[in-house]
Structure 1
Protein backbone atom coordinates (compact mmCIF):
# COMPACT_ATOMS: atom_id res chain seq x y z
CA UNK A 1 0.00 0.00 0.00
CA UNK A 2 1.30 3.43 -0.91
CA UNK A 3 -0.01 6.97 -1.29
CA UNK A 4 0.87 10.09 -3.23
CA UNK A 5 0.36 13.42 -1.47
CA UNK A 6 1.21 17.05 -1.98
CA UNK A 7 3.29 19.10 0.45
CA UNK A 8 5.15 22.32 -0.21
CA UNK A 9 4.17 22.37 -3.87
CA UNK A 10 5.76 18.97 -4.50
CA UNK A 11 4.29 15.48 -4.72
CA UNK A 12 5.66 12.61 -2.64
CA UNK A 13 5.08 8.85 -2.92
CA UNK A 14 5.16 7.24 0.53
CA UNK A 15 4.54 3.95 2.31
CA UNK A 16 3.95 3.36 6.01
CA UNK A 17 7.00 3.80 8.31
CA UNK A 18 8.97 5.60 5.59
CA UNK A 19 11.13 8.61 6.44
CA UNK A 20 11.04 11.38 3.83
CA UNK A 21 12.48 14.88 3.51
CA UNK A 22 10.08 17.68 2.60
CA UNK A 23 10.26 21.46 2.55
CA UNK A 24 10.54 23.19 5.92
CA UNK A 25 7.46 23.16 8.15
CA UNK A 26 7.22 25.51 11.13
CA UNK A 27 6.19 22.76 13.55
CA UNK A 28 8.16 21.56 16.56
CA UNK A 29 10.02 18.24 16.56
CA UNK A 30 8.06 15.17 17.83
CA UNK A 31 4.70 16.74 16.92
CA UNK A 32 2.10 14.85 14.88
CA UNK A 33 0.97 16.35 11.55
CA UNK A 34 -1.79 15.37 9.12
CA UNK A 35 -1.65 15.84 5.35
CA UNK A 36 -5.06 16.13 3.70
CA UNK A 37 -4.02 16.76 0.11
CA UNK A 38 -3.94 13.09 -0.92
CA UNK A 39 -3.77 12.63 -4.67
CA UNK A 40 -3.81 8.83 -4.91
CA UNK A 41 -3.93 5.76 -2.66
CA UNK A 42 -3.01 2.32 -4.03
CA UNK A 43 -4.00 -0.72 -1.97
CA UNK A 44 -3.78 -3.64 -4.41
CA UNK A 45 -6.03 -4.32 -6.27
CA UNK A 46 -7.95 -1.18 -5.19
CA UNK A 47 -6.79 2.19 -6.58
CA UNK A 48 -8.32 5.51 -5.49
CA UNK A 49 -7.57 8.65 -7.49
CA UNK A 50 -8.66 12.10 -6.35
CA UNK A 51 -10.18 14.88 -8.42
CA UNK A 52 -7.90 16.70 -7.51
CA UNK A 53 -7.70 15.33 -3.92
CA UNK A 54 -9.30 12.45 -2.04
CA UNK A 55 -11.88 13.54 0.53
CA UNK A 56 -11.72 12.07 4.07
CA UNK A 57 -8.33 10.47 3.41
CA UNK A 58 -5.23 11.61 5.28
CA UNK A 59 -1.64 10.77 6.01
CA UNK A 60 -0.48 10.96 9.61
CA UNK A 61 3.19 11.70 10.16
CA UNK A 62 5.59 12.64 12.95
CA UNK A 63 8.19 15.41 12.69
CA UNK A 64 11.64 13.91 13.25
CA UNK A 65 14.11 16.73 12.56
CA UNK A 66 14.75 20.04 10.86
CA UNK A 67 17.90 20.93 8.96
CA UNK A 68 19.59 22.56 6.00
CA UNK A 69 21.07 21.06 2.87
CA UNK A 70 24.69 21.72 1.94
CA UNK A 71 25.41 25.15 0.53
CA UNK A 72 25.21 25.51 -3.23
CA UNK A 73 27.18 28.26 -4.89
CA UNK A 74 25.68 30.43 -7.62
CA UNK A 75 28.30 32.23 -9.68
CA UNK A 76 27.43 34.81 -12.33
CA UNK A 77 30.26 36.07 -14.51
CA UNK A 78 30.67 38.11 -17.70
CA UNK A 79 34.12 38.04 -19.19
CA UNK A 80 35.84 41.37 -19.93
CA UNK A 81 32.97 43.34 -18.33
CA UNK A 82 34.22 43.55 -14.70
CA UNK A 83 31.07 41.70 -13.56
CA UNK A 84 31.29 38.85 -11.08
CA UNK A 85 28.65 37.84 -8.54
CA UNK A 86 28.95 35.14 -5.88
CA UNK A 87 25.82 33.92 -4.03
CA UNK A 88 25.34 30.94 -1.70
CA UNK A 89 22.09 29.22 -0.69
CA UNK A 90 21.07 26.71 2.02
CA UNK A 91 17.66 25.08 1.43
CA UNK A 92 15.75 24.27 4.64
CA UNK A 93 14.07 20.87 5.10
CA UNK A 94 12.02 18.80 7.55
CA UNK A 95 12.35 15.04 8.01
CA UNK A 96 9.07 13.25 8.73
CA UNK A 97 8.15 9.63 9.42
CA UNK A 98 4.88 8.38 7.95
CA UNK A 99 2.88 6.78 10.79
CA UNK A 100 -0.32 5.82 8.98
CA UNK A 101 -2.23 6.15 5.71
CA UNK A 102 -5.97 6.48 6.35
CA UNK A 103 -8.39 5.64 3.51
CA UNK A 104 -12.04 6.74 3.17
Structure 2
Protein backbone atom coordinates (compact mmCIF):
# COMPACT_ATOMS: atom_id res chain seq x y z
CA UNK A 1 0.00 0.00 0.00
CA UNK A 2 1.25 3.46 -0.86
CA UNK A 3 0.04 7.03 -0.55
CA UNK A 4 0.88 10.47 -1.91
CA UNK A 5 1.03 13.04 0.91
CA UNK A 6 1.55 16.77 0.89
CA UNK A 7 3.75 18.41 3.51
CA UNK A 8 5.92 21.49 3.43
CA UNK A 9 4.59 22.53 0.02
CA UNK A 10 5.85 19.35 -1.64
CA UNK A 11 4.29 15.99 -2.51
CA UNK A 12 5.85 12.64 -1.55
CA UNK A 13 5.01 9.05 -2.47
CA UNK A 14 5.32 7.00 0.71
CA UNK A 15 4.80 3.42 1.81
CA UNK A 16 4.93 1.80 5.23
CA UNK A 17 8.41 1.22 6.66
CA UNK A 18 10.38 3.71 4.58
CA UNK A 19 12.29 6.77 5.74
CA UNK A 20 11.70 10.20 4.27
CA UNK A 21 13.32 13.64 4.62
CA UNK A 22 10.75 16.47 4.56
CA UNK A 23 10.78 20.19 5.34
CA UNK A 24 11.31 20.86 9.04
CA UNK A 25 8.35 19.97 11.28
CA UNK A 26 8.23 21.35 14.84
CA UNK A 27 8.06 18.01 16.69
CA UNK A 28 10.34 16.22 19.16
CA UNK A 29 12.46 13.23 18.16
CA UNK A 30 10.47 10.06 18.78
CA UNK A 31 7.11 11.83 18.56
CA UNK A 32 4.25 10.29 16.58
CA UNK A 33 2.79 12.68 13.99
CA UNK A 34 -0.12 12.39 11.58
CA UNK A 35 0.02 13.56 7.98
CA UNK A 36 -3.63 14.15 7.07
CA UNK A 37 -3.19 15.83 3.68
CA UNK A 38 -3.40 12.61 1.65
CA UNK A 39 -3.87 13.21 -2.08
CA UNK A 40 -3.94 9.59 -3.26
CA UNK A 41 -4.01 6.06 -1.83
CA UNK A 42 -3.19 2.99 -3.88
CA UNK A 43 -2.96 -0.74 -3.30
CA UNK A 44 -2.19 -2.96 -6.25
CA UNK A 45 -4.56 -2.12 -9.09
CA UNK A 46 -7.04 -0.15 -6.96
CA UNK A 47 -6.29 3.57 -6.67
CA UNK A 48 -8.30 6.13 -4.73
CA UNK A 49 -7.74 9.74 -5.82
CA UNK A 50 -8.98 12.66 -3.74
CA UNK A 51 -10.56 15.86 -4.93
CA UNK A 52 -8.33 17.41 -3.61
CA UNK A 53 -7.92 15.16 -0.51
CA UNK A 54 -8.94 11.57 0.18
CA UNK A 55 -11.64 11.67 2.87
CA UNK A 56 -10.68 9.85 6.08
CA UNK A 57 -7.19 8.89 4.93
CA UNK A 58 -4.14 9.56 7.08
CA UNK A 59 -0.51 8.55 7.34
CA UNK A 60 1.15 8.10 10.73
CA UNK A 61 4.89 8.63 11.06
CA UNK A 62 7.56 8.82 13.74
CA UNK A 63 10.16 11.58 13.88
CA UNK A 64 13.59 9.94 13.61
CA UNK A 65 15.87 13.00 13.57
CA UNK A 66 16.34 16.63 12.64
CA UNK A 67 19.24 17.89 10.55
CA UNK A 68 20.50 20.09 7.77
CA UNK A 69 21.05 19.20 4.11
CA UNK A 70 24.34 19.75 2.29
CA UNK A 71 25.32 23.30 1.46
CA UNK A 72 24.06 24.75 -1.79
CA UNK A 73 26.49 27.30 -3.22
CA UNK A 74 25.11 30.32 -5.03
CA UNK A 75 27.53 32.26 -7.24
CA UNK A 76 26.53 35.28 -9.29
CA UNK A 77 28.87 37.05 -11.66
CA UNK A 78 28.65 39.71 -14.34
CA UNK A 79 31.49 39.52 -16.79
CA UNK A 80 33.75 42.51 -17.29
CA UNK A 81 31.96 44.44 -14.50
CA UNK A 82 34.07 43.31 -11.52
CA UNK A 83 30.93 41.95 -9.82
CA UNK A 84 30.95 38.66 -7.96
CA UNK A 85 28.61 37.51 -5.21
CA UNK A 86 29.04 34.35 -3.17
CA UNK A 87 26.27 32.94 -1.03
CA UNK A 88 25.47 29.63 0.62
CA UNK A 89 22.37 27.96 2.04
CA UNK A 90 21.65 24.88 4.15
CA UNK A 91 18.01 23.81 4.42
CA UNK A 92 16.70 22.23 7.63
CA UNK A 93 14.89 18.88 7.41
CA UNK A 94 13.03 16.38 9.54
CA UNK A 95 13.53 12.68 8.90
CA UNK A 96 10.36 10.61 9.26
CA UNK A 97 9.76 6.86 9.40
CA UNK A 98 6.38 5.97 7.93
CA UNK A 99 4.56 3.61 10.30
CA UNK A 100 1.11 3.05 8.80
CA UNK A 101 -1.25 4.20 6.06
CA UNK A 102 -4.96 4.10 6.77
CA UNK A 103 -7.57 4.85 4.11
**How far, CA to CA, are the matches of 2:7 and 2:82 in structure 1?**
42
Identify the residue that residue 102 of structure 1 maps to in structure 2.
102
Aligned: 1:78 with 2:63: no
**How far, CA to CA, are the matches of 2:97 and 2:52 in structure 1?**
24
**How far, CA to CA, are the matches of 1:78 and 1:44 in structure 2?**
53
- CA RMSD of the aligned region, Å? 0.9
Residue ranges of structure 1 left out of the alignment (5+ in a row): none
**How far, CA to CA, are the matches of 1:46 and 1:80 in structure 2?**
60
Aligned: 1:15 with 2:31: no
Identify the residue that residue 65 of structure 2 maps to in structure 1.
65
**How far, CA to CA, are the matches of 2:45 and 2:11 in structure 1?**
22
Identify the residue that residue 28 of structure 1 maps to in structure 2.
28
- Count, aligned residues: 103
Residue-by-residue CA offset, 1:60-83 (whole Å, 9 max, x unaligned): 000000111111110111122121
Give the superposition deviation at 1:45: 3.4
User: Secondary structure of 1:51's partner?
Assistant: coil
Residue ranges of structure 2 left out of the alignment (5+ in a row): none
**How far, CA to CA, are the matches of 2:16 and 2:80 in structure 1?**
56
Please report the TM-score for the alignment, with normalisation by the length of structure 2: 0.95
